[in-house]
Copies of this chain bind each other. A is one copy, B any other.
Amino acid sequence: MEKISLYEHRVSYYETDQMGIVHHSNYIRWFEDARVDFLEKVGFSYAKMEEIGIMIVVLGASCDYKVSARFGDTIVVIPKISEFNGFKMTVSYRVYNRENGVLLATGETRHCFTDLKLKPVRTKKEYPEVYKIFSDYIGVNLDGEGIYQ
């Protein structure tokens, strides 16, 4: 199991709103960016998924906002597979300000695995190599150095 680098993002001007902070909807987008980044790093890029005919559908998303990110901040998103049973998966996220290590938000997204026609796929049986990848990362905190607490 390889060590995974954390997902970083520089806050764009267009992500702010008139309160002078990042609009809360963008965190849901950052979760996706961090998830895509993570999937690619473990060898399960979208290209790969399409190739083998698997989709990871979003069933739910939530975010708790603690401290506002602002324009120019570099944020770090740390995803973790908190649940996975071969068919459904929950990914949790922590968002930090990279510079000062302040925890800005936490959240999670819930997913299921389907084929390209949105029919549920049970990876354990049908795609054991996919099953293994996700199983291996259940509960793994990608921040191996414990930089962000």
Contact = CB atoms under 8 A, between A and B. Distances in A.
Interface of A: 10, 12-14, 16-21, 23-26, 28-29, 32-33, 36, 45-47, 55, 58-65, 71-72
Contacts of A36: 12-13
B14 A23 contact: yes
Contact of A14 (B13, B25, B55): B25
Contact of A60 (B47, B55, B65): B65
A29 B12 contact: yes
5 contacts: A13-B23, A17-B17, A25-B61, A58-B65, A61-B62
B60 A63 contact: yes
A104 to B, nearest CB: 13
Nearest to A66: B59
A29 B18 contact: no
B12 A33 contact: yes
Contacts of A17: 13-14, 16-18
B58 A61 contact: no
B24 A25 contact: no
